[in-house]
């Protein structure tokens, strides 16, 4: 079993605090493989809220006297003073992140981000960003660097915002496998956008046909893989045009195009002006925000 957690002021005691709008009291993760069973039972609940995110496997929650099996891509929100009873079984290989929080504006914040409070179990989608944010909260609680309490609240708000976005897009019918694969593709394209990328080679490396990959990528991201890559390259080029004195040829090479003329045509297609015209417009309008927002 793998366990990692962090606690505010190194205290495991639950608490209620209304001195700030949102306060993270503790955060952690469990990953079971060899452990047979890990039970939790708090008959009177806690003083704070608890949010659990199931990354993989299955978990067993007892809510209002009934057992509910919660699978990956779902979250469970348990309010204060509500019985907490749930079991993890090693055979089902669950991986779970959890966070406890309190504050004077918790209910309003949950409403703002449309976090369901009528049903404790809700769909959140499978995204590596969730795990990243939970890990960052654990790290901040363990290290307590300057401003860590403010960062903790920001990370938790980001989780709420991702849940809201996922639920508004209403794509729970897309399998967890497809969501994870398309998220992997997005990360790969973001990290390697300035390198030669073959969509066919990438799809084959993930054991998918090109058509299957392109169809699912567009369904999840709302752009084809090549449109997504083009947008990343052009937006990064626009940022370089704004913040550096690099030549067009240098910027073209930096974002992955050996032919500056070809790059210029693609830039004009997406931005409506050539790179040189774009730079002139920036100089004429010093207060302009610069590159347009990307994906």
Helix, strand counts (H, E) of the chain: 10, 10
Per-residue pLDDT in tens (0 to 9) along the chain, 295 residues = 789 999 998 888 889 999 999 999 999 999 987 789 999 999 999 999 999 999 999 999 999 888 999 999 899 999 999 999 999 998 988 999 999 999 999 999 999 999 988 889 998 988 889 999 999 999 999 999 999 999 999 999 999 999 999 888 755 455 777 888 898 999 999 999 999 999 999 999 988 889 989 998 998 888 999 999 999 999 999 999 988 999 999 999 999 999 999 999 999 998 999 999 998 888 776 454 433 333 3
Task: Mark whether 152 and 205 lie in a shared domain.
Answer: no
Q: How far apart are CA 141 and CA 139, in angstroms?
A: 5
Same domain, yes or no, for 161 and 283?
Answer: no
- Is 107 within a domain? yes
Q: Taken in order 103, 107, 112, 113, is the CA torsion positive or negative?
A: positive
Both 131 and 239 in a single domain?
Answer: no
Residue 174 is assigned to a structural domain of this protein: no
Q: pTM for the full model?
A: 0.59
Strand, helix or coil for residue 224: coil
Same domain, 51 and 160: yes
Is the four-CA dihedral 220, 222, 224, 225 of positive or negative sign?
negative
pLDDT at position 170: 59
Q: Are residues 257 and 209 in the same domain?
A: yes
Cβ(193)–Cβ(255) below 8 Å: yes
* Segment holding 205, helix H or strand E: helix 199-205
99 and 187 both lie in a single domain: no
Task: Indicate whether 64 belongs to any domain.
Answer: yes
On whether both 128 and 105 belong to a single domain, the answer is yes
In a domain, 175, yes or no: no
Same domain, 161 and 219: no
CATH of the domain at 154: 2.60.120.280
Q: 112, 141, 169: which is the final residue of a domain?
A: 169
Domain's final residue, options 169, 190, 225: 169
Question: Do 253 and 151 share a structural domain?
Answer: no
Pair (23, 158) in one structural domain: yes
Question: C-alpha angle 32/171/57, rounded to 5°?
Answer: 10
* CATH classification at residue 270: 1.10.10.60
Please report the sign of the dihedral spanned by the C-alpha atoms of residue 83, residue 84, residue 89, residue 94. Answer: positive
Last residue of a domain, one of 142, 169, 196: 169
Domain shared by 158 and 279, yes or no? no
Domain membership of residue 40 (yes or no) is: yes
- In DSSP terms, 97 is beta-bridged to 29, 53
CA–CA gap between residue 22 and residue 102 (Å, rounded): 6
Q: Which of 253, 278, 263, 206 is nearest to 230 (CA)?
A: 263
Question: What is the distance in angstroms between the CA of the first residue and the CA of the last residue of the chain?
Answer: 38
Q: Is residue 22 part of a domain?
A: yes
31 found inside a domain? yes
Same domain for 203 and 146? no
Domain with 45, as residue range(s), is 2-169
Specify if 152 maps to a domain. yes
Give the total number of structural domains in the chain.
2
């Amino acid at each position: 079993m793998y366990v990692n957690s962090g606690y505010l002021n190194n205290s495991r005691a639950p608490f209620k605090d209304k001195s700030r709008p949102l306060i993270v009291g503790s955060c952690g993760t469990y990953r079971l493989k060899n452990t047979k069973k890990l039970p939790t039972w708090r008959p009177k609940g806690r003083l704070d809220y608890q949010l659990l995110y199931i990354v993989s496997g299955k978990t067993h929650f007892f809510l209002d006297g009934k057992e509910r099996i919660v699978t990956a891509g779902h979250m469970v929100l348990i309010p204060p003073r509500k019985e907490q009873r749930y079991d993890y079984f090693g055979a089902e290989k669950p991986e779970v992140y959890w966070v406890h929080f309190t504050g004077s504006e918790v209910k309003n914040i949950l409403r703002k981000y449309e976090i369901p409070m009528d049903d404790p179990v809700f769909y959140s989608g499978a995204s590596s960003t969730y795990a990243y944010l939970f890990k960052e909260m654990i790290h901040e609680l363990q290290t307590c660097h300057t401003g860590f309490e403010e960062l903790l609240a920001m990370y938790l708000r980001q989780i709420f915002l991702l849940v809201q976005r996922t639920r508004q897009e209403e794509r729970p019918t897309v399998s967890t496998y497809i969501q994870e694969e398309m998220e992997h593709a997005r990360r790969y394209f973001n990290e390697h956008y300035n390198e030669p990328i073959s969509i066919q080679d990438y799809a084959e490396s993930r054991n998918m046909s090109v058509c299957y990959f392109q169809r699912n990528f567009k369904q999840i991201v709302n752009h084809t893989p090549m449109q997504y890559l083009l947008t990343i390259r052009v937006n990064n080029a626009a940022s370089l045009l704004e913040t550096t004195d690099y030549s067009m040829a240098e910027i073209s090479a930096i974002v992955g195009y050996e032919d500056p003329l070809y790059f210029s045509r693609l830039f004009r297609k997406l931005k409506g002006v050539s790179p040189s015209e774009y730079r002139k417009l920036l100089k004429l309008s010093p207060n302009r925000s610069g590159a347009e927002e990307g994906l």
